[in-house]
Amino acid sequence: MDVNRPALSRRAAILLAVPPLAFLALFFAWPVLSIVATGLAPDGRLDLAVLPQTWSQPFVLQLLAFTLGLAVASTLLTVLVGMPAAFVFARFDFRGRRTLRALATVPFILPTVVVASAFLALLGPRSPINAALEGLFGLARPPIRLDGSVWAILLASVFYNVAVVLRLVGGLWSHLDPRAEEAARVLGATPWRAFREVTWPLLRPAVASAASIVFLFTVTSFGLVLLLGGPGQSTLEVEIYRQTALLLDLPVAAALAILQIGGVFVLLLLYARYQERLAVEQRLRPSADTARPPRTRGERTLVGGVLGGLFLLLGLPLIVLVERSLATPGGYSLAWYQGLWELPARGGSFVPPVDAIRNSLSFATATLLLAGTLGVMAALVVGYRRGWLARGFDALVMLPLGTSAVTVGFGFIVALDQPPLDLRTSPLLIPIAHSLIAIPFVMRAIVPVARSIDPRLREAAAVLGAGPRRVWREVDAPILARAALVGAGFAFAVSLGEFGATLFIARPDTPTIPVAVARLLSLPGDVTFGQAMAMSTVLMLLTAAAILAIERLRGAGPEPF
């Protein structure tokens, strides 16, 4: 087997690229083009004057600057916080590691309203923390005022996305051979220098992967900015929503959508090129071989410190939610949980929790299968092929993550209106919309690992007489399987959390858990609030359990490598 030959033939790459491309063409490109065309050619005649008109308005520049600034700042902050966590989870073995890693993904799926309320309980004007500080320093006003500030958005964005860094970077890190760094240490390098010169270059592709997802996520974050950002702050995403869903000013919405999609696409192309250059082929190790219990006092402090920090950042808000779901007027009890089953009897407007759970799991399973299949296909193409075609394909697959949900949602209405594709009222549309967001996660989880596989492994296998299929089965597949499962876990979580994608599609009345939470929160009264917290807790537990289960799927087979 020729080492210089790509592991994937051109023909195979094209075959693999077709299904994801067809999916994107049908459910992303066509809807988006349709809604943009509706905006730019309202009477069938193309009128492009609105583009320069909109783009030259000062408020658009402001929007752009705020959107970009926010996304860059959140991405940097999230990576900064996530790296030590990724390190500790990749390199050290300690009790409860798997469970904690699964739990760290939980914030990722929580409805924004619920998170905002937990943050306010912790850091709001009347929170225990503020009260303690006031008492301590004799202050007249609460020292921490998060509501309405950019800090609130940044904090929430780290809370939501740190799991992306933890999982995607940790995924590759756990396969890096620790002996390289150890060798550098033996030769006299400081830990920092050993990290910077040995580990960091090998890790960069995964860091860039995670960063790209966090960036795109913040660019299109909607609820967060609206809820925490205060009334003065607006992003491109929020403005597109306003112009489309509220004002129905489709020409301006189209101009803004072009700005968003075009900008994101250019960034993604640059990024894909950078990613390709970063890739370093190396000898990956089974993760079980690279992690060991912390031995020295310094290591134990490090593990303890990181876990403590994660607890403060991720654990406390979650605990507040659980606490509220248990706090009933007569003291702590399960009354709100029991009530979840009783409410439907009180009126038809409530979803029996069993139904919501079943619906959520059905959609998430469908998303897992759809996004898993298409995402793996896309990852193989991007991971094993180079050149501008592969880069363009990479950027295209990522694009839905950076595109406004309202553009896509309203695009469905305009584009998918003819049989046999009139899916506008079909429950299928929901996993399809979820998959648009989930496929990039699957792909980004796999690509850095695929690119890191040392071709000499394949060569060795071939020399020993393995055919191409066998080489694939014995060398690549086991290494990629684990990365694919991390991606699959995110795909499942994306669907359970009902990200923006489904906010703006008319959907058949199939309530999921986040939908049920929103319904409960939309009514005044202590009962509905308590039950919304209980339902959110159910969602948390379900997510953690699902992610643990997905990761155990591989337990059935032999340990790879």
Partner 1 sequence: MRKLRDLLVVLTLLAACAGPVGSPSAGQPATPTATSSSPAAATSPAAGTSPVAATPTTAPPSSTPPGPAELVLLTHDSFALTDTVIQAFERDHNVTLKVLKAGDAGAMVNQAILSKGHPLADVLYGIDNTFLSRALTAGIFDSYQAPGLASVAAAFQLDPQSRVTPVDYGDVCLNIDRSAFAAGSPPAPTGLADLTRAPYRGLLAVENPATSSTGLAFMLATVAQFGESGAYTWLDYWKDLRANDVKVDASWNDAYETDFSAGAGKGDRPIVVSYASSPPAEVYYAPTPPADAPTAAILDGCFRQVEFVGVLAGTAQPELARAFVDFMLSPAVQADLPLQMFVFPAVQGTPLPAVFSKYANVPPKPLAIDPATIAANRDRWIQEWTSTVLR
Residues 219-238 binding partner 1 (CB under 8 A) are 222-223, 226-227, 231-232
Site residues for partner 1, 151-210, by CB under 8 A, read none
Q: Which of 89, 108, 217, 363 binds partner 1 (CB under 8 A)?
A: 363
Q: Which of 410, 441, 490, 492 binds partner 1 (CB under 8 A)?
A: 410
Site size toward partner 1 (CB under 8 A) is 94
Q: Which is nearer to partner 1, 37 or 72 (CB)?
A: 37
Q: Which residues contact 294 (CB under 8 A, 6 or more apart)?
A: 92, 94, 300, 302, 303
Rounded-to-integer distance, Cα 438 and Cα 446, Å: 13
Site residues for partner 1, 421-440, by CB under 8 A, read 421-422, 424-428, 431-432
Q: Is 125 in the site for partner 1 (CB under 8 A)?
A: yes
Closest distance between partner 1 and the C-beta of residue 420, in Å? 7
Q: Is 418 in the site for partner 1 (CB under 8 A)?
A: yes
Angle between the N-to-C axes of helices 526-552 and 353-384, in degrees from 0 to 180, rounded to the nearest 10: 40
Q: Which residues contact 45 (CB under 8 A, 6 or more apart)?
A: none
Helix (H) or strand (E) holding 332: strand 331-332
Q: Is 348 in the site for partner 1 (CB under 8 A)?
A: yes
Site residues for partner 1, 5-44, by CB under 8 A, read 18-19, 22-23, 26, 38
Alpha helix (H) ranges present in 93-246? Answer: 97-104, 112-123, 128-137, 150-173, 178-186, 191-194, 200-219, 223-228, 236-241
Q: Are 537 and 336 in contact (CB under 8 A)?
A: no
Q: Which is nearer to partner 1, 394 or 498 (CB)?
A: 498
Instruction: Point out which span in 50-58, 71-79, 218-226, 388-396 binds partner 1 (CB under 8 A).
Output: 218-226
**Cα 121 from chain centre:** 25
**Cα 492 from chain centre:** 10
Site residues for partner 1, 520-539, by CB under 8 A, read 521-530
Q: How far is CA 271 from CA 161, 209, 421, in A?
A: 19, 9, 34
Q: Are 511 and 357 in contact (CB under 8 A)?
A: no
CB atoms within 10 A of CB 191: 11
Strands (E), 219-263: none
Site residues for partner 1, 238-257, by CB under 8 A, read 241-242, 244-249
Q: Which of 121, 153, 163, 377 binds partner 1 (CB under 8 A)?
A: 121
Q: Which of 54, 67, 74, 117 binds partner 1 (CB under 8 A)?
A: 117
Closest distance between partner 1 and the C-beta of residue 327, in Å? 11
Closest distance between partner 1 and the C-beta of residue 180, in Å? 43
Compose the 269-308 pattern: x for residues touching partner 1 by CB under 8 A, - for all others: ----------------------------------------
